[in-house]
Every structure is written in C-alpha cells, then in structure tokens.
Chain A
Amino acid sequence: MDKETQRVWDSLNRDTQERMAKARTIVGTGKVISVDKTVALLEAIIKPGDKVNLEGNNQKQADFLADCLCKVDKNKVYDLHMIQSVLSLPSHLDVFEKGIAKKVDFSFSGPQAGRLAQLISDKKIELGAIHTYLELFGRYFIDLVPKVALIVAFQADKEGNLYTGFNTEDTPVIVEATKFKQGIVVAQVNEIVDKLPRIDIPADWVDFVVKSPSPFYIEPLFTRDPALITDSQVLRAMMAIKGIYAEYGVQRLNHGVGFDTAAIELLLPTYGEELGLKGKICSYFSLNPHPTMIPAIESGWVKSIHSFGGELGMEDYVRARPDVFFVGPDGSMRSNRAYSQMAGHYSLDMFIGGTLQIDKYGNSSTATASRVAGFGGAPNMGCDAKGRRHSTEAWLKCGQEYGMSHELVGNLPRGKRLVVQLQETFREKLAPGFVEELDAWKLAKNANLDIPPVMIYGDDLTHVVTEEGIAYLHKCSSLVERTAAIRAVAGYTEVGMLAKPEDTAALRKKGIVKTPEDLGIDISRANRSLLAAKNIRELVTWSKGLYNPPAKFRNW
C-alpha cells in the first residue's frame, strides 16, 4: 500500500518541467525566442535517446529548426529517434551523418531516397519502419509519442497562438500527440503579428516560437504543366473515363499526382461532357488543389474538394471558391492532412494513379533498387478500407463483380473500393512498366528491409489501364486468371510478351479485358487537342486570373 502511494504519476511532466527550467536560464521567460539562442534552446530541451518529431511535410518544411538541430553539440544531444512524415531536405539526413540522431520512422523521402538507402546500408541510420501517413500519425498516439516537436507555421502572435493557414498539413496531429503527453513544442514562423487571421494551434500547446531568418521552404508538388501531357496519356484518360468512371458511376475519388491523372482532369470538360457524364461522375474529391482541376471546377463538374495540403499559386483561387474547397471563417483553406487521409481512406469510391512497376500478380511499387522512397498517403487510398460499412453505387458494383468474393465471404453482399493504376507499358528511357519481379525485392536486400516496399498490393488492385486496354482484375476468380489479364494489357514488356493470344481472347469475351476498340474509343481522336487547357497560361485564363502560377511554370 505504501509503495502504491509513493508511485509518481506525473514523471513525464516533471521531466518536462526540469527541461523547461533549464531552457529558461537560456532564453528567459517569454515564449518568443531569438534566432541566435535556438541551438542552445534545443540542447536544453532535448535529451539523448529522445523521440523528436521534426515537422517535414509533403510541402512545408521546418527547415530552420532542422538546420539548428544539425548544429547541436553531439556530446550533449545524441542517439535521437527521429519521427517525421517526410525526409526531404539534406539536413534531414545530415543529422544522422553527424551522429546526433540514430533511428528514423517515416513515410516518404522523395529527393533524399538514394542517400537514405546508402545510409541505411552503411548502418548510419537504423530504420524503424516505412509507413503510410495515416499509419504514422496513428503511432504518434501509441508507441511513437514525440517528447519534443519542432514544427512550422506561417504566423504566430505574441502569446504563441499559431496560424498554419493554407498549408496546415501535419501540424495539428504532431502538436496534439506531443503536448497531450506533456512534451515540448517549438515552432518556427515566418512572421510574428499582433492579430492572426485565424488560430490553428492554441498558444498553450506551444512552448517556444522563433521567427526564422527566412520564410520556410515549400515546394509546388502538385502542378503539372498541360503542355507536357502526351497523346498516349490522352488515350489512357479516354479509356479510364469511358471504361471505369462512366461504367461504375464513380462520384467520390482521389487522383494521384501525375500527368496521367492531369490528363483525365483536363478531359472532363471536353470528352466527359461529350459522353454526358457531368453530374454522374467526379462530384466529390479528396484531393490536393491541382491547378489542372480548374477547367472542370469552372465548368461546374465538382461539388466539393477536401485537400491534404496546399499548392503554391492556388491560394486566391481556392479562397474565391468556398463552395468547392474547405475554407475557414477567415477565407483561407486549412489543409489538415490527417483528416484528408481519413476521408480518403474511408469515403472514396475510387483511387486512381500512376506507378513505376507492376508485377505479374498485380502488386505495384514505386520503389527502385537503390532508393528508399516510401509512398506517403497513396496506400491509404489505394486499398480497400476493411472497416468500411456504408455503401455507394460504384463500391457495390465493384463488389458484385469481385470474382473471389464467394470464396471469402460466401453469399454476403460486400462492396469493393476501385483501385486503379494507370500505366504506360514503357516509360521514358524505355523502362518497362510491367516486370516479372519488382525492384522492391532488390531494395529490400540492399537496404536490409524486412519486406519489399509495396505501394498497392495485388489483392487491392482492381483495374489496370494501359494503351493496350483495361484489365478488370477484380473480376478474375484466380491468381492464374489475374496474371493472364495483366499480361494481356502489358504490351511488349517481358510480362506482356508471355501473353497467350487464346487466353487474351477468352478474357475479352468475359469482359475482363477490354481494348480501346472494345470500349468504342476512336484511337485517332487521342491527341492533345482534346485537353481543356493545353498549357499553364490557359489554366490562368480558365481561373479568371485567380491562379497565380509560381515563376518556374511561367513561360510566357
């Protein structure tokens, strides 16, 4: 009984208070600290072995705090366990090379993917796991709770309230996980103002604020210049619209980032209109504010878009279309990635996007032999959400057609998410889009991963669209049949060359494979003249001047 009463129940908070007391001797009593004391502050509040969440989003980056973390004395701060969504800046890996951090759990590494693979292989980084965004956010509240979070916002006021605005992204989920387990939150901001447009993070969840020497780094990731869309992308877009969107009445969806989906977006007001599909497809999106969506929005196709993040140049356009986008009382968007990922996981009829490689079973991956890139949020949408219990027309139809359904759940009706991969059989430099074995296997070996990183597993993939045709894979009743269907549309790749003409003919008869001809598509019309906008400037015109493209996309 005595032992029971002696137990300390607030050790986390006591530890934090000790660190805060140490910090106060360096930065004084205010929340707003100066740039030159930031490194010393980090040395005071971070202890060896801490779990540290450095805010690295898909787009905005806590770059100043990342640089400061690289400058701490590694005799004082070492063996850190970094937890962050995205490894995108050189500093995100420098911190490992310098011996300050040891272990990482993350989702996506983009430009640092090659270096990351090397560091893992050299045993300079201990890899926890590669996650999807939602999965990583989930672990923030279970076994990857950050002790210290280094975050980023547009503005702060003097009390320490934060405005994350248009690019809110991951900030709320990081701060909540950290602060409600008595952790410490440090924010870098572009400006300190008297009054914020809106409060996104309340001041009592924020311990320190520093105005960074320059505005945070942000990249326009979702802008695709229509001028670079090819005729073969137009063909696949026509096939997808007629053979999938129209066929299933797809109303709720997510488009992956890429030129294939940009082509679809730009075909809605032309080809889609011609097929009489307005109102019947594409009403609700979980989607970043793609500039290539502007013509479809302006033509009245879209009822609603909830966004994971922002996109440079789209701020004014989004603000002027509050019926479509989610904007706050101040008029600007708040893109909370956790909510958008949740929406994308549970509420969509379809995910459609591109990939690098598909194997003969339908497993698909963007991993290459020497790059540990991760997949961000795509797998959360590119899968059948097993917890889904509501039904929609498209979901039900896909479930009714599911060839394995009876084997798994007997006679019970159950729907299925449409998960579609748009794939050019050969990409640039003639790299094959279909392979007998994914490069992910080689990567797993090279970087000592437990499992080959797969973006979409074969049992979730329902459709593959190539220039050869659409394979309706979910209709197959065995793996053998599915492999034959994949070969049938894999063109002249090693996978496609093994297609047996008699198998392909049988699959066409069953409606499992459809060629452009089977779909009634006039291939001679597959050219760029079908695009509603043919370049960035035409997107600006469609937006009535509200879209303000970044300099690198202005070529007129």
Chain B
Amino acid sequence: MALQQLKFEFKVNNPIEFSHEWRHHGVVGSGDLEILMEKKDLGGAVQVQVVTPVVGFDKVWGMVLEKIVKENRLGNISIEINDNNATPIVVSMRLRQALAEAAKDVRKEV
C-alpha cells in the first residue's frame, strides 16, 4: 500500500495565535490517525502535510482542512497528519478534538 503525500496551504483574515508551541494528538498504528501541530512563523498562513494510503480524496482533504482552518481562524501553524484510512469525518473530528484539548489545556494553565 503506497503512501502518498499531500500538501495544502490556507490563509484566513485575522488569525488567532495558536496557544501552544507544539501539540500531538492520536495514534496512527492501532488508531485512525495522528496529528502534530507546531507553532511557526508562516506569515499568518497554515501549512498542512498529509500522509495517507487513501487515493482519490485529495479534494475532500482540502475541503475538510479548509473548513477547520476557517472555523478556528488558525494561523502561523504547521500541521502534520499521518492517516491510517480515516474517513473525512473522522479526520475533521480528530482535528476538532485536538484543537478543543489544546484550548482546554490553556484554560487549565491560566
């Protein structure tokens, strides 16, 4: 099963600064996918790299990611996703969960 690498870049107006230097969420082996998020100066942009065995869903990946970036007004963040056959909705749910947990941890720290 050949893996393919997809790259995306998004930019939204007035992005909110990501609250952590670095986050990791999920597992790729026994689970469905893992997400690595890193704060990075990208001139406000969001860069996403996806490694997935699924072929033919590039457009869907783009739509899922764009929606999440817009909804959360993400910026200056590099996201790496290692996917093990997750469905689009699972991808979007995992990303939302990762962001929700990051936000919760911030509240705890405060």
**A→B interface (CB under 8 Å):** 230-232, 235, 424-427, 430, 466-468, 491-492, 497, 522-524, 526-527
CA–CA, A86 and B55, complex, Å: 39
Whether A491 touches B93, Cβ cut-off 8 Å, given contacts A430-B54, A523-B100, A524-B101, is no
A231/B89 in contact, CB under 8 A: no
Give every chain B residue within 8 A of A425 (Cβ-Cβ).
87-89
Contact of A466 among B60, B89, B104 (CB under 8 A): B89
The answer to whether B19 has its CB under 8 Å from any CB of chain A is no
A524/B89 in contact, CB under 8 A: no
A430/B93 in contact, CB under 8 A: no
Distance of A275 from chain B, by nearest CB (Å) = 20
Give every chain A residue within 8 A of B54 (Cβ-Cβ).
430
The answer to whether B24 has its CB under 8 Å from any CB of chain A is no
Whether A232 touches B88, Cβ cut-off 8 Å, given contacts A430-B54, A492-B64, A523-B100, is no
Contact of A232 among B60, B63, B89, B101 (CB under 8 A): B89
B97/A526 in contact, CB under 8 A: yes
The answer to whether B57 has its CB under 8 Å from any CB of chain A is yes
- Interface hub of B54, B57, B90 (most chain A Cβ within 10 A): B90
A524/B87 in contact, CB under 8 A: no
CA–CA, A430 and B100, complex, Å: 26
Give every chain B residue within 8 A of A230 (Cβ-Cβ).
90
- Contact residues on B (Cβ < 8 Å of other chain), bracket: 10 to 19
A492/B97 in contact, CB under 8 A: no
Offer 15 A-B interface pairs, CB within 8 angstroms, sorted by A: A230-B90, A232-B87, A232-B89, A232-B93, A425-B89, A466-B89, A468-B89, A492-B64, A497-B63, A522-B100, A523-B93, A523-B96, A523-B97, A524-B100, A524-B101
A424/B63 in contact, CB under 8 A: no
Closest A residue, CB atoms, query B56? A430
Give every chain B residue within 8 A of A523 (Cβ-Cβ).
93, 96-97, 100
B57/A430 in contact, CB under 8 A: yes
Give every chain A residue within 8 A of B60 (Cβ-Cβ).
492
A231/B64 in contact, CB under 8 A: no
Give every chain A residue within 8 A of B87 (Cβ-Cβ).
232, 424-427, 430
A232/B90 in contact, CB under 8 A: yes
CA–CA, A466 and B63, complex, Å: 18
B88/A235 in contact, CB under 8 A: no
- Interface hub of B97, B100, B104 (most chain A Cβ within 10 A): B97
B93/A492 in contact, CB under 8 A: no
A491/B89 in contact, CB under 8 A: yes
Distance of A492 from chain B, by nearest CB (Å) = 4
Give every chain B residue within 8 A of A522 (Cβ-Cβ).
100
B93/A526 in contact, CB under 8 A: yes
Give every chain A residue within 8 A of B88 (Cβ-Cβ).
425-426, 491-492
Distance of A315 from chain B, by nearest CB (Å) = 34
B63/A492 in contact, CB under 8 A: yes
B residues 73-110 in Cβ contact with A at 8 Å: 87-90, 92-93, 96-97, 100-101, 104
Give every chain B residue within 8 A of A527 (Cβ-Cβ).
97
Distance of A112 from chain B, by nearest CB (Å) = 29
**Interface pairs A-B: 7 shortest CB-CB:** A524-B100, A426-B87, A492-B88, A467-B89, A492-B60, A524-B97, A425-B89
Distance of B51 from chain A, by nearest CB (Å) = 17
Give every chain B residue within 8 A of A424 (Cβ-Cβ).
87, 89
Q: Given A492-B60, A497-B63, A524-B100, 20 other A-B contacts at CB below 8 A? A: A230-B90, A231-B90, A231-B93, A232-B89, A232-B93, A235-B93, A425-B88, A425-B89, A426-B87, A427-B87, A430-B87, A467-B89, A467-B93, A491-B88, A523-B97, A524-B101, A524-B104, A526-B93, A526-B97, A527-B97
Closest B residue, CB atoms, query A236? B89
Closest B residue, CB atoms, query A493? B88
CA–CA, A491 and B101, complex, Å: 23
Give every chain B residue within 8 A of A526 (Cβ-Cβ).
93, 97
Give every chain A residue within 8 A of B96 (Cβ-Cβ).
523-524
Distance of B46 from chain A, by nearest CB (Å) = 19
Give every chain B residue within 8 A of A466 (Cβ-Cβ).
89
CA–CA, A199 and B95, complex, Å: 59
CA–CA, A189 and B1, complex, Å: 51
Closest A residue, CB atoms, query B89? A467
Give every chain B residue within 8 A of A468 (Cβ-Cβ).
89
Give every chain A residue within 8 A of B93 (Cβ-Cβ).
231-232, 235, 467, 523, 526
Give every chain B residue within 8 A of A467 (Cβ-Cβ).
89, 92-93
Closest A residue, CB atoms, query B102? A524
Give every chain A residue within 8 A of B90 (Cβ-Cβ).
230-232
- Interface hub of B54, B93, B97, B104 (most chain A Cβ within 10 A): B93
Give every chain B residue within 8 A of A497 (Cβ-Cβ).
63
Give every chain A residue within 8 A of B57 (Cβ-Cβ).
430
Closest B residue, CB atoms, query A523? B96
Closest B residue, CB atoms, query A527? B97
Query: Digit string of B30-52 for contact with A (CB within 8 Å is 1, else 0)?
Result: 00000000000000000000000
Give every chain B residue within 8 A of A524 (Cβ-Cβ).
96-97, 100-101, 104
Give every chain A residue within 8 A of B89 (Cβ-Cβ).
232, 424-426, 466-468, 491-492
